[in-house]
Chains A and B, each alone.
Chain A
Amino acid sequence: QKEVEQNSGPLSVPEGAIASLNCTYSDRGSQSFFWYRQYSGKSPELIMFIYSNGDKEDGRFTAQLNKASQYVSLLIRDSQPSDSATYLCAVKRAGTGNTPLVFGKGTRLSVIA
């Protein structure tokens, strides 16, 4: 089982709809969870992080964390064509000091105008 799993997509949603991106992780002790967006040919940019169970909202983005089920999701409300990108889920495992985040392979989102 991979440490961080994401459906590669593409996930296609119409403009204005809610896009739902999911991620599961294998290490139950993981402590911090991140969502990054990467446009084609560009480097990843941080969207938000979450570390407590429940929802965290930032503008059109909502991250949801369920540690018991070991999944984290990202909802994008009112999706725009400019949201079309690859979304990377990343996890910081507990007790791993200054090791890098563990990244999923990303889900490609396509918002259709």
Chain B
Amino acid sequence: GAVVSQHPSWVICKSGTSVKIECRSLDFQATTMFWYRQFPKQSLMLMATSNEGSKATYEQGVEKDKFLINHASLTLSTLTVTSAHPEDSSFYICSARPGLAGRRNTADTQYFGPGTRLTVL
């Protein structure tokens, strides 16, 4: 159980285009999803926290107009990189939290998707 998928797994695009990445929790409902990015040989960097039905909370330094996050349902969150540039090339990873009432530690757990590798030419 606790499977998270991402689509696409990789994408190559031209500078200036927009790219949408989908994150789905396949066998549980995710009250909260998180978006990270990771540059080669570097640590995970949290970009934003997304709660179903409400606006995402962005980390300091992350442009909300450039990285649009939508969490329309309990199983789907999307990240759109608008007007992508080569410096946006990175590994984008989503993470979902079940948030099951009464099961504290399972509720706290974050399950990661397989990631999306974005290359902007």
Which A residues are within 8 Å of any B CB, using their own CB? 31-32, 34, 36, 41-46, 49, 51, 88, 90, 92, 98-101, 103, 105-106
Residues of chain B within 8 A of A98, CB atoms compared: 31-32, 49, 51, 97, 99
Which B residues are within 8 Å of any A CB, using their own CB? 2, 31-32, 34, 43-44, 46, 49, 51, 91, 93, 95, 97, 99, 104-105, 108-115
**A103 pairs with B108, CB closer than 8 A:** no
B111: which of A32, A41, A46, A105 is its contact (CB, 8 Å)? A46
Residues of chain B within 8 A of A41, CB atoms compared: 91
**B110 pairs with A100, CB closer than 8 A:** yes
Residues of chain A within 8 A of B112, CB atoms compared: 36, 43-46
Q: List 10 A-B contacts (CB under 8 A).
A: A32-B109, A42-B115, A43-B93, A43-B114, A51-B105, A92-B108, A98-B31, A98-B51, A100-B49, A103-B43
Please measure, in the bound complex, the distance between the C-alpha atom of A92 and the C-alpha atom of B32, giving whole angstroms: 14
B44: which of A32, A45, A49, A88 is its contact (CB, 8 Å)? A88
Residues of chain A within 8 A of B97, CB atoms compared: 98
**B43 pairs with A51, CB closer than 8 A:** no
**A32 pairs with B34, CB closer than 8 A:** no
Count of A-B contacts with CB under 8 A? Answer: 54
Please measure, in the bound complex, the distance between the C-alpha atom of A99 and the C-alpha atom of B59, giving whole angstroms: 12
**B109 pairs with A43, CB closer than 8 A:** no
Please measure, in the bound complex, the distance between the C-alpha atom of A44 and the C-alpha atom of B36, giving whole angstroms: 11
Please measure, in the bound complex, the distance between the C-alpha atom of A46 and the C-alpha atom of B111, giving whole angstroms: 7
Please measure, in the bound complex, the distance between the C-alpha atom of A51 and the C-alpha atom of B43, giving whole angstroms: 24
**A106 pairs with B43, CB closer than 8 A:** yes
**A103 pairs with B109, CB closer than 8 A:** no
Q: Tell me which of A34, A49, A88, A92 has the highest count of chain B C-beta atoms within 10 A of its own C-beta.
A: A92
Please measure, in the bound complex, the distance between the C-alpha atom of A103 and the C-alpha atom of B46, giving whole angstroms: 10
Residues of chain A within 8 A of B43, CB atoms compared: 103, 105-106
Separation in Å of the A19 CB from the closest CB of chain B?
A: 20
**A100 pairs with B34, CB closer than 8 A:** yes
Please measure, in the bound complex, the distance between the C-alpha atom of A101 and the C-alpha atom of B112, giving whole angstroms: 12
Beyond A42-B115, A105-B43, whether A32 also contacts B108 by CB under 8 A is: yes
**A100 pairs with B46, CB closer than 8 A:** yes
